[in-house]
Structure 1
């Protein structure tokens, strides 16, 4: 979870029962707070500056002050909450309760449980379309998505998908829902509002986490079984390249200020930061016009002797030029 305004990222440390706040500019941990057992996802509610974690093995949601890490509350929800969803407009935070097959709705302001939705076994990640008020909960063990109204909590239907759906993410335009299907190793594209699967693209082993870029161009797919992130073209569905990260990458997010991809690696307890993740190997999208051409001749005065040196002196030799800024 990225907070671009405060220049922080928040990471659930499942094996340590904690949440860490990371300074995005310094890449340093600024605070660490204990929560319930096995926190999996984290969501930030900007109006209240509160963090919500789903603590799977405690059957709780822990609420923290996003600026200090201080505990605000801890709420009892369904059994084994392994996913979260957030509707800022309707002031709701949702937990997908895996073992009980329910979605618990929490009022983001009063911090009270306001109702539940009957989902299916393996309920987890919840994606919310703020424009329509429709919410989509993945059901890992039931190979489906439960659709419900995020305001009234009224069930609206069910969308079948392939086995092991782990995370659902909306495209920025709200017309497509992307779903990682971890067991067959695919990413499904679901057309909205009809809820029909219109295509799939192969991913590497056990895709679980997922992030859609703000411009709708890229999907970043965390392949937990391979230690990689696949970069998929959201328009065509094809994987363009893969990025090697840490062990067991669980989820990812993009810092909108820098374009860097942040990947939380559950297996190695690390956060991988990737610069320009949409480019294979971090190379520029287009070569510079001078790339591959002979070095043009130039001359510069020697900083120590004042003698003018020319590039001809090093012709056919290997050399390093250090352009040093004195400030």
Structure 2
């Protein structure tokens, strides 16, 4: 989409702005209170859980327009996409259910009863399990992805919500918002493995398998904690802006994106150094984010604005690169030069429609 486009293109279309600093490509209206965002790179689609609309919205990422909307239970907050089955799982906080939808059409396939106020989901593709953080119950409900049914429960602490899974070690991590802690359990046996400390109001946990780190967004103190997955020890706390509630990591593990709900920004952190590279201004109350692995674009849900912001190349800061030379992409001008060995005049006509390399060499 042209960066210079402005205005809206209909009820389901994007409103575009020329934000060259951070390359905002589109702002797509999706519904009220959008929170979790997940991407289906094969289908070229993003799915957004709209908590105040009680549904999920599918967004075509090529056209930046809505494909379909589907009802779930009341107040869906987190969302999981299972590629092998083409299913979506939404945890519906005020219905105490997990709703299962077809990702291609939004058709409802099942609705599974879980613990009180489910507000977080985790996923282990190898074990074929989805884990639901039941905030009011202080538990984790475990669902079989293929059978779409409850298969177990794990004790956590009050405020259990966001869940991250380290598939390498087979461990799951649950952020306990009200207890300022992270519960660790075995993803297969469901055996509790202990607690990790967190800051005030841990809202989101994410695993970075490349850095071998766990990140915890502490919403009440404006920090992101880095924890070693190997040792379970806290490495440091990285300051961000107000009320960080959403997190995601770039596919190469290099960048951490933090949704600062109270500031309307996304902090871009270097995963190696922990330093903040820059901030991206999005819209009101960003809730969560995801990266499209095909394009590297960052997708940010804005709970206060009811939109999905699409950011191109979010790891770059500063002004847009200079325009390419006007001759780039045009046919090579015809010219002739004498052959250095024979003296015979050679012209570019001899290599028309062929690939060749010209080596310009000067001696002095």
Regarding TM over 0.5, the answer is yes
Deviation of the 1:53 alpha carbon:
0.1
Contact 2:211/2:253 (8 A) holds in 1: no
Cα 1:191/1:30, change in 2 over 3 Å: same
Aligned-partner SS, 2:94: helix
Residue 15 of structure 1 corresponds to which residue in structure 2? 52
Residue 273 of structure 1 corresponds to which residue in structure 2? 310
1:43-97 alpha-carbon deviations (Å, 9 max, x no partner)? 0011111100000011000000011100000010000000000000001001100
Deviation of the 1:264 alpha carbon:
0.5
Q: Tell me how far apart the structure 1 counterparts of residues 195 and 296 of structure 2 sit (CA, whole Å).
A: 35
Q: List runs of 5+ in structure 2 lacking aligned partners.
A: 1-37, 328-364
Question: What is the 5 A alignment of 1:212-251?
Answer: 212-251=249-288
Deviation of the 1:171 alpha carbon:
0.8
Q: Tell me how far apart the structure 2 counterparts of residues 96 and 213 of structure 1 sit (CA, whole Å).
A: 24
Q: Count the aligned residue pairs.
A: 290
Contact 1:82/1:98 (8 A) holds in 2: yes
Contact 2:210/2:252 (8 A) holds in 1: no
Residue 167 of structure 1 corresponds to which residue in structure 2? 204
Residue 258 of structure 1 corresponds to which residue in structure 2? 295
Q: Tell me how far apart the structure 1 counterparts of residues 249 and 186 of structure 2 sit (CA, whole Å).
A: 23
Which residue of the other structure, out of 101, 107, 125, is the alignment partner of 2:162? 125
Deviation of the 1:214 alpha carbon:
1.2
Deviation of the 1:226 alpha carbon:
0.7
Question: What is the 5 A alignment of 1:1-327?
Answer: 1-173=38-210, 175-281=212-318, 283-284=320-321
What RMSD over aligned residues (CA atoms) do the two structures have, in Å?
1.6
Residue 301 of structure 1 corresponds to which residue in structure 2? none
Greater relative contact order, per chain length (Cα 8 Å cut-off, separation 6+): 2
Contact 1:129/1:174 (8 A) holds in 2: no
Q: What is the TM-score with the length of structure 2 in the denominator?
A: 0.77
1:231-252 alpha-carbon deviations (Å, 9 max, x no partner)? 0111111111111111111100
Q: What is the TM-score with the length of structure 1 in the denominator?
A: 0.86
Cα 1:37/1:198, change in 2 over 3 Å: same
Bigger CA drift: 275-284 or 31-40?
A: 275-284
